[in-house]
Amino acid sequence: MKIPKSIEPLVRDGLIDEVIRPLKSGKEAAVYIVLSEGEIRCAKVYKDINKRGFQKQAQYQEGRKVRNSRQARAMEKGTRYGRKQQEELWQNAEVEALYRLAAAGVRVPKPYNFIEGVLLMELVTDEDGSAAPRLNDLELTREQALEYHSLLIREVVKMLCAGLVHGDLSEYNILVDSNGPVIIDLPQAVDAAANNNAGRMLERDVANLADYFGRFAPELLATQYGKEIWKLYQSGILLPETELTGRFKSHDKRTDVKSIMRVINHAKKEAMRHHNETENFN
C-alpha cells in the first residue's frame, strides 16, 4: 500500500521496511500494521492537532511536567505554540507510560520507538497470529468474565504501584490475546501522586470493568475494588501481590449508591430479557 506521509521518515531511517495495511482509525490516531526489523509490528500515527479537541484534557494533564514557564504560559493561553506543546505532552505521556508499565510487568504492548508523532510498538495478536480482538467484540462465559476481571484488577494494581492510573479504562481499550487481556491507549494516563483527580479516575476505571464484566457475572456489580485499591494505595501498603476482597467499609457510613444501582439495573435488564423470551416462546 502507499506509505502514509507521517510514516515516511521512519521508512527513510530504516525503522520500517513495509507498511502492510491499516489496522484501525480512531479520534486520536490511526494504526497501521508494518514490517520492522523482520517482525510484524504496528505503527500508531497520532492525528493532526487541529482534528482533535482538547476540552477534556485539562484534568489529565494536571501534574505533568513542562519544560519551562514559556511553555506553560503558552499552553494556558491556548496559543498555536501552546497547542503544539500540549500535543507533544499528550503523545509523550503514552510513550512514557508504555515504557514504565512494560518495565513493571504490566500487560501493555511493548514499545520500540517514537519518532515525529509515530509510535512503533508490538502488534498484539491472537493464537492464530491475527490482530487481537477488543474485549468489547467478545462474548464471554461467566467463568471467562470472572477470570478476565480478576486479571485486569491485578493489572490496575500493578499500574498504580508503578505510579500510574489509566484514566479511561474500558472494554474498548483492552485487547485479548492468547494469554488474556492487554491494556492499550494510554495518552491520558495520569501520575497517581501528582494529579488530584487520580483517585476518582481509578475508581471510574474499576467501575467500568465491573459494569462490563457484570453483564456476564452479575456478582461483580456489587464489588468495590476501586475504593479498596485506592485506600490501600493512600495508606502506603498497596503491593502488586496484595490480596484484595472487593469490599470496602466507609467510615462516613454513606451508602454506595452506584454499586446498588448497578445491581438494580442489571436485575431490570434480566427481567426484561426473560419477559421477551417468554413472549417469543408463547
Annotated catalytic residue within 13, 168, 205, 256: 168
C-alpha dihedral (63, 211, 247, 259), degrees to nearest 10: 100
CA 257 to chain centre: 25
CB 120 within 8 A of CB 7: no
Annotated catalytic residue within 185, 205, 211, 256: 185
3-state SS class at 106: coil
Separation between Cα atoms, residue 186 and residue 188, nearest integer Å: 5
Strands 118-122, 164-165: parallel, antiparallel or unpaired by DSSP? unpaired
3-state SS class at 116: coil
- Terminal-to-terminal C-alpha distance of the chain: 54
185 has catalytic annotation: yes
CB 22 within 8 A of CB 32: yes
17 has catalytic annotation: no
3-state SS class at 279: helix
Residue whose grid cell is 477470570: 147
Separation between Cα atoms, residue 20 and residue 38, nearest integer Å: 13
Separation between Cα atoms, residue 152 and residue 163, nearest integer Å: 16
3-state SS class at 99: helix
Active site residues: 168, 185
